[in-house]
Structure 1
Amino acid sequence: MEALNSPNDAAPVLVIGAGPVGLTMACELARHGARCRIIDRAPEPSQTSRALAIFPRTLEILETMGVVEPFLDGGLPLHGLSLHHGAEQIGQVDFNSVASPFPFALALPQSETERLLSEHLTRHGIAIERGVELTALMQNSDAVRAVLRHSDGREEIVETPWLIACDGAHSTTRHALGMDFTGAQYDESFILADVQLASSLVRDRIHLFLGADGLLGLFPFKENRWRIVANIPPQSREQTLPEVTFEEVQRLLERRAPSGYRASDPVWLSRFHISHRKVREFRQLRVFLAGDSAHIHSPAGGQGMNTGMQDAFNLAWKLALVVGGAAPTQLLASYHAEREPVASEVLNLTDRITRMATMRNSLAQNVRDFLLPRVSGIDFVGNKIADRLAELAVNYRKSPIVENHGVGKLKAGDRAPDADLRDESSQARRLFELFRAPRHVLLIFLGTAAAAATSEQIGSALQGLPENTVDSYRITRGRSNLPAELRDLSGLAHAAYGLTSGGSVLVRPDGYIGYRSDGFDPIPLREYLARTFVVA
């Protein structure tokens, strides 16, 4: 190929892959004002259910994107996880304890998730280009040149300032870059079936049956359907996997579930191997990897699609600021710094769950079945597990683009909590409503009257910033007469942020705290903003 030219500043970002991760990326780039183009090699959208669970943090993301309502209308809320051994329930984890507006997992087939995100993308004026695949790419410090093949055989060469690989576990982009996908395949194969099910199980929980010969997972979703997942111990690692039959699914039910459970009307049967793999770097020059193109792991815990969508949510606002000239390109280095540790932790978590659920040693199984009801019955432990599955425990405290001043349980890098407030007209407002704007949000907690007297100086830190990058709100505590845009009558918002005596918090567009201080000194905030934005 000939040498690359620098693409025009208005050239669109190129997103490869129109699954949930690529669609989230494209929607978010558009919401933040960055032009993008999204392609997918498949001629039609997928019709299979595949990923099924949407957890609370991802629902919060969908709310910020302005699209959560149709998801809630189409999905089935699942309020917890029940662990069984035969007919006996031996443990449970409840999601009702998670501190989120969405204290549940939502069961919704991936095909529906993609449909809803595609419709949302259409409202942003962007159409998915189907039957178009990436076949080659080259890049330098200024641009990426991608070779695209259309369904009619025509080749197109496009130059783009940034390319985002959301093209799955068998990523063409990753292969074109020559990036290693380090990890291994599990010995077990898995069977999946979407069926009608006659059983006595409640339909607002996930049910896992742990038995001597393996795991059986039953996941309810709408239209009275259930997802059945079961592991099959290997005869050998290289075994050829035959097509799964409905009779095999029914035999697994009879062996691993209580007697009398009967499946019917199968709409999808599949047998597959699973792996745990990850790239070393989530970025190579001007190409970023997100979702399964960067990391794959066991479906245990239902974390895969959720983690990938959160990859996209993390990267999109940063890339939009850089493309728009409002932030330096150095901001983009934080994508790998923040998301690679999350992916590593998800790989470790799902690997532990998988090995615990599929262990074949009878003594180890007995120990597991003895401990599970005792451990999960401890509220603190159950709540920790729920927070991990909900992905509310994710934090970026070690990120190079967060800064914390002062003490307190909540730190810069943590997810910003929601809280109920009142505006100047006494109308109810939620902090999460403020975070829906595609901008940073500076929260100035006035706290005590003495602290409020020194708060005015912090506004000077915002001078010279690019337009429409930071919104700011003053928040009083209790029934104060101080001038402010919002009132925290209960004081719970101040308490949630650990700033009962006052302080300042800068919340990023992805809902995480970038800067937190228990004071109002404008100098460190100004210095922080100068590293984040291009300041005049």
Structure 2
Amino acid sequence: MAPDVVIVGGGPVGLFLAASLLQEGISVRILEQRTERNLHSRAIGIHPPALDALDRVGLAGAMVQEGVPIRTGLAVSGGKTVASMSFNTVSEAFPFVLALPQHRTEQLLEDRVLSLDSGAIVRGARVTGLYDDGGRAAVVVEPSAGGAGQRDFCASFVVAADGARSQLRKVLDVPVCTKAYPDHYLMGDFAESGDHGQMAVLFLEAGGIVESFPLPGGLRRWVVRLGTPAETADAHRLAGLVLQRTGILPDVETNTMMSAFSVRSTLARRTVAGRVLLIGDAAHEISPIGGQGMNLGWLAAHALSPLIRRGVAGEPVEGQLKEFDSGRRRAAVIARRQSEVNMMLGRPLPAPFLQLRNLAIGAAASVPAVNRWTARRFTMQ
């Protein structure tokens, strides 16, 4: 029997949408090209609006229990605190940013999906084609090696949640707006060192920003801005740069994850193409600095879910999908601007200009109303 909805991509956004639809009685098939989950700990920050959405599928409690609630952020320069920010007023239910590794987030989401439908996820399925007759849509799937021949998956709606290099977006020939930035980073997870506990810390230094976030299991993530792309993700180099800029030396022997990345953003010119819908990184790739991308995808899925339910029930939803498209693209532009501000604050500055910037940040943070407003902006309110 054909499902109501086919979701291409079994990452956090596709899994969340599936859970949201399944618990409302909408049948779903998730087509995931990977045969195993990627255990690389990428996105870690879950913001309050996303936790509200995750609570609707019964997962926020479990995530909060496993993660680290970050209730305070510090800006430090030259060993002195420049400013502090409390997240206590950003949400009544979730007054913090939750740090939880993406692979664990995905596992909890997958468990929820499978508890609703044990056959909802099809792994080793590579989508190679698509067609849409206006009433139903279908994808052409090429199975992994050793599987049967090609097959079609038909549904009332197809949702592309297949990442920043979305194959479905290419098949649809959706134009994108791409920006590259002069910002490059090394990132790694090490055993906790220092005395910052559950606080997030931004070290605003002349050589460029160093970001530090607590993780479950007594770990801390370090992110260092570079002037040029890193040739390799080297733990010794990262630890040395952290020591040079902050005076803290992460223990290389405890390193559990390393990554190097350069920043770009990609915004799709449209997220609705007939019966095919784009969400997550397929619709908007945002800089990881600030941790907005995954959260933005969840909020899009949360907004899309009731529209899909109405469409599956036979209600006309074309106008609502048009509003969804414009609203989500507008939200992506706002998120991109916020990420650009975050990156700008972390770029190197000569000492005199660094001092002026730090004074300005400290002065703004000392005004309670400005501090609260900034905290809400940083947590996607």
TM range (shorter): over 0.9
Q: 1:168 aligns with which of 163, 166, 169?
A: 163
Aligned residues: 378
1:155 aligns with 2:147: no
SS of structure 2 residue aligned to 1:65: coil
1:145 aligns with 2:138: yes
1:44 aligns with 2:33: no
Equivalent residue number for residue 292 of structure 2: 303
SS of structure 2 residue aligned to 1:176: helix
Give the AA of the match of 1:330.
G
- Report if the CA contact (8 A) 2:13-2:298 is conserved: yes
Q: Using the alignment, how far apart are the partners of 1:157 and 1:365 within structure 2?
A: 58
More helix by share: 2
Cα 1:218/1:328, change in 2 over 3 Å: closer
Cα 1:361/1:119, change in 2 over 3 Å: same
- Give the TM-score, by structure 2 length: 0.94
Shift of 1:75: 0.6
- Report if the CA contact (8 A) 1:193-1:229 is conserved: yes
Q: 2:84 aligns with which of 92, 105, 108?
A: 92
SS of structure 2 residue aligned to 1:226: strand
SS of structure 1 residue aligned to 2:209: strand
Q: Using the alignment, how far apart are the partners of 1:204 and 1:365 within structure 2?
A: 27
Give the AA of the match of 1:222.
P
Structure 1 residues 327-366: Cα deviation after superposition (integer angstroms, max 9, x where no partner): 5443322211221111110011111111221244555433
Cα 1:198/1:359, change in 2 over 3 Å: closer
Q: Using the alignment, how far apart are the partners of 2:192 and 2:112 within structure 1?
A: 33
Cα 1:83/1:259, change in 2 over 3 Å: same
Shift of 1:326: 4.7
SS of structure 2 residue aligned to 1:256: helix
Structure 1 residues 361-414: Cα deviation after superposition (integer angstroms, max 9, x where no partner): 55543321121111112111111111122223xxxxxxxxxxxxxxxxxxxxxx
Q: Pick the structure with greater CA Rg.
A: 1
- Report if the CA contact (8 A) 1:279-1:294 is conserved: yes
1:190 aligns with 2:181: no
Equivalent residue number for residue 214 of structure 1: 208
- Give the TM-score, by structure 1 length: 0.68
Shift of 1:32: 2.2
Equivalent residue number for residue 113 of structure 2: 121
Equivalent residue number for residue 266 of structure 2: 277
- Report if the CA contact (8 A) 1:307-1:343 is conserved: yes
SS of structure 1 residue aligned to 2:287: coil
Q: Using the alignment, how far apart are the partners of 1:43 and 1:328 within structure 2?
A: 35
Taking the TM superposition and a 5 Å limit, the aligned residue runs for 1:358-373 are 358-360=347-349, 362-373=351-362
Shift of 1:54: 0.8
1:316 aligns with 2:305: yes
Give the AA of the match of 2:155.
T
Q: Using the alignment, how far apart are the partners of 1:11 and 1:299 within structure 2?
A: 34
Q: Using the alignment, how far apart are the partners of 1:279 and 1:261 within structure 2?
A: 39
Unaligned residue ranges in structure 1 (runs of 5+): 1-7, 393-536
Q: 2:128 aligns with which of 125, 128, 135?
A: 135
SS of structure 1 residue aligned to 2:180: strand
Q: 2:46 aligns with which of 37, 54, 73?
A: 54
Kindly indicate whether structure 1 or structure 2 has the higher relative contact order, using CA contacts under 8 Å at least 6 residues apart: 2
- Report if the CA contact (8 A) 2:310-2:316 is conserved: yes
SS of structure 1 residue aligned to 2:254: strand
Equivalent residue number for residue 277 of structure 2: 288
Structure 1 residues 9-45: Cα deviation after superposition (integer angstroms, max 9, x where no partner): x642110111110001111111222111101111101
Taking the TM superposition and a 5 Å limit, the aligned residue runs for 1:89-488 are 89-126=81-118, 127-152=120-145, 154-201=149-196, 203-234=197-228, 241-259=230-248, 262-326=251-315, 328-360=317-349, 362-392=351-381
Shift of 1:139: 2.0
Shift of 1:325: 2.6
- Report if the CA contact (8 A) 1:87-1:257 is conserved: yes
Cα RMSD after superposing both structures = 1.8
Shift of 1:322: 1.5
Give the AA of the match of 2:204.
L
Shift of 1:128: 1.5
- Report if the CA contact (8 A) 2:209-2:348 is conserved: no
- Report if the CA contact (8 A) 2:193-2:248 is conserved: no
- Report if the CA contact (8 A) 2:138-2:158 is conserved: no
Give the AA of the match of 2:156.
P
Cα 1:55/1:259, change in 2 over 3 Å: closer
Q: Using the alignment, how far apart are the partners of 2:90 and 2:340 within structure 1?
A: 23
Q: Using the alignment, how far apart are the partners of 2:365 and 2:290 within structure 1?
A: 15
Unaligned residue ranges in structure 2 (runs of 5+): none
